[in-house]
Amino acid sequence: MSYNAPEGTADMLPADARLWRYTVDEAARLFARYGYEPIDTPMFEQTEVFCRGIGEATDVVGKEMFVVRSGENFRRECAGENVKSKSKLSLRPEGTAGVVRAVVQHNLVEQGAAPAKLFYAGPMFRAERPQKGRLRQFHQIGAECLGAAEPSADAEMIIMLMRFFESMGVPQSRMRLLINSMGDDNCRPAYRESIKQFILDHEDEMCEECCRRAQTNPLRAFDCKNEHCAIIMADAPKISDHLCDDCRDHYKAVKHYLDNAGIEYVEDPTLVRGLDYYTRTVFEIQVIEGMGSQSAIGGGGRYDKLVETVGGKPTPGLGFALGFERMVIALEAAGVLTENVKNVDGYIACVDDSVRDVAFDLACSMRDAGLCVEVDHQGRSLKSQFKVAGKLNVARVIVLGPEEVALGKARVRNMNTHDERLIDIETIKRLFAQFDGQRFGGTLSDEIDTVFSFENDDKE
Ligand code: AMP
């Protein structure tokens, strides 16, 4: 019997896992310039956090959440017994609701202090119909800024996201930034009502789902994949014509900041985004070619009512999430994903078993100095060890033979030039010990070559 990973999930094999870690590190580095700090919240929360935070009428909550129960509570539920609402848990379908819950729980937005700027990275879970770029477990990196109402915060966040994609290599020419304002409590209810009425007026021509949405979440009809619905919705009233003065001014100021920063955007009055919590600015970054129907690589918006909704004091906020898997597809489609190979600085090869202790000891010293070194653990012949070293793509192989070792020496071979030199083992160890591991950073740097250039201790 053998098993596959569950449908809609993917194993992150080493090359992907390396890229994921690199991506998270790059996000941490770049977001830090904008004042963001990391936060890690649980992968499951009380279901109510998502129902209240994201909205029960959304697809994400209404249809796509994975329910979590302890064994005992599962048994109770199956037996028709009551399960406390605290024990009704779900896997997180997105990151914002949990982060905002944590912000409220730990009072992270202090009166009179700077906004709380937080970023997260990790898996999210949605029971969607799997397809390319649409998984049931996927990975997001997201950022949330709480306590900032000014439109400059919206522009700053959009710029940070664009810069991140650029730093990862997504070509600017392939990205399209869509923006819109969804209004606020003042102007949106009337607009929502007008869309509801519009759908009801076209009930005969629209799909069942849209007709149902008219009652629960009418703005979602703008996202309907049915071509006919899309044609009808193109004539629906536009939010841009229904914004109140404050929302219009806010939106205008966001665009002004983006213009000043030289960020190109397309205003899309039908961009409503799937989650209920958005107010005012919403944005999405799409990739123009090679993504099929899953072209959105990231998006977000302002959610000035969310903190209150999950039990906190009124606090303006905004955030975004980007999809790692989609970004990788975009990088592949643009042909900019360079092969990312395991990085091994050196391989220590043994001519025979008599030198294994020395090899092991040398490997330990080199690793302690910060280098990435491999040594044979399979009892292979010297020839096979060279083959393995070649497969690992190492730059240098240190060959230990009984005669050289008896003299305290080792042979270092440059795998590119096949040039070999004899070096003194104690000298290497001493020199490595002097280096600060951080300077090597686990990569073959000038330092290692400097060390290997010492033919013997006479030249020290
Ligand atoms: P959302 O939380 O729906 O606003 O999504 C933010 C980003 O996450 C999207 O732009 C996608 O890049 C990514 N994403 C959302 N859902 C999925 C999914 N099911 N599979 C893969 N990526 C996804």
Ligand 1 atom with minimal separation from the 298 CA: 10
Task: State the distance from the centre of ligand 1 to the C-alpha of 28, rounded, in angstroms.
Answer: 20
Task: State the distance from the centre of ligand 1 to the C-alpha of 134, rounded, in angstroms.
Answer: 7
Does the CB atom of residue 94 touch ligand 1 within 6 A? yes
Q: How confident is the model at residue 344 (pLDDT cuts 50, 70, 90)?
A: confident
- The predicted structure's pLDDT at residue 455: 43
Does the CB atom of residue 296 touch ligand 1 within 6 A? yes
- The predicted structure's pLDDT at residue 427: 77
Task: Kindly tell me if the per-residue pLDDT of 70 is higher than 50.
Answer: yes
Task: Kindly tell me if the per-residue pLDDT of 445 is higher than 70.
Answer: no
Structure tokens that stand for 344 in this block: 């091994």
Q: Count other Cβ atoms within 10 Å, centred on residue 161.
A: 26
Which residue, by CA, sits nearest to atom 8 of ligand 1? 323
Task: Write the pLDDT tens digit of every residue in 216-259.
Answer: 889 889 888 888 998 999 999 999 899 999 999 999 999 999 99
Does the CB atom of residue 134 touch ligand 1 within 6 A? yes
Residue among 54, 132, 140, 293 to mutate when testing ligand 1 (max atoms within 8 A of CB): 140
Task: Kindly tell me if the per-residue pLDDT of 80 is higher than 50.
Answer: yes
Rounded distance, CA 16 to CA 22, Å?
10
- Please give the C-alpha separations between residue 324 and each of 24, 108, 301, 354, in angstroms, as whole numbers: 9, 27, 19, 48
Average of pLDDT values for 14-42?
Answer: 97
Task: Kindly tell me if the per-residue pLDDT of 328 is higher than 60.
Answer: yes
Strand ranges inside 184-249, DSSP E: none
Does the CB atom of residue 101 touch ligand 1 within 6 A? no
Rounded distance, CA 20 to CA 341, Å?
13
Q: Which residues contact 178 (CB under 8 A, 6 or more apart)?
A: 265, 266, 267, 268, 271, 283, 284, 285, 286
- The predicted structure's pLDDT at residue 4: 97
- The predicted structure's pLDDT at residue 449: 61
Pair 452, 435: CB distance under 8 Å: no
- The predicted structure's pLDDT at residue 353: 95
Task: Write the pLDDT tens digit of every residue in 94-130.
Answer: 999 999 999 999 999 988 889 999 999 999 999 999 9
Does the CB atom of residue 325 touch ligand 1 within 6 A? yes
Which residue, by CA, sits nearest to atom 16 of ligand 1? 134
Rounded distance, CA 64 to CA 81, Å?
24
- Please give the C-alpha separations between residue 3 and each of 6, 7, in angstroms, as whole numbers: 9, 11
Residue 293, exposed/middle/buried by CB under 10 A (0-12, 13-18, 19+)?
A: exposed
Does the CB atom of residue 347 touch ligand 1 within 6 A? no
Which residue, by CA, sits nearest to atom 15 of ligand 1? 323
- The predicted structure's pLDDT at residue 443: 45
Average of pLDDT values for 64-76?
Answer: 95
Task: Write the pLDDT tens digit of every residue in 372-412.
Answer: 899 999 999 999 999 999 999 888 899 999 999 999 999 98
Q: What percentage of the chain has pLDDT greater than the value 70?
A: 93
Task: State the distance from the centre of ligand 1 to the C-alpha of 136, rounded, in angstroms.
Answer: 10
Task: State the distance from the centre of ligand 1 to the C-alpha of 59, rounded, in angstroms.
Answer: 13
Ligand 1 atom with minimal separation from the 60 CA: 3
Residue of 398, 7, 321 whose CA lies nearest to 160: 321
H/E stretch holding 167: helix 151-168
Q: How confident is the model at residue 444 (pLDDT cuts 50, 70, 90)?
A: very low
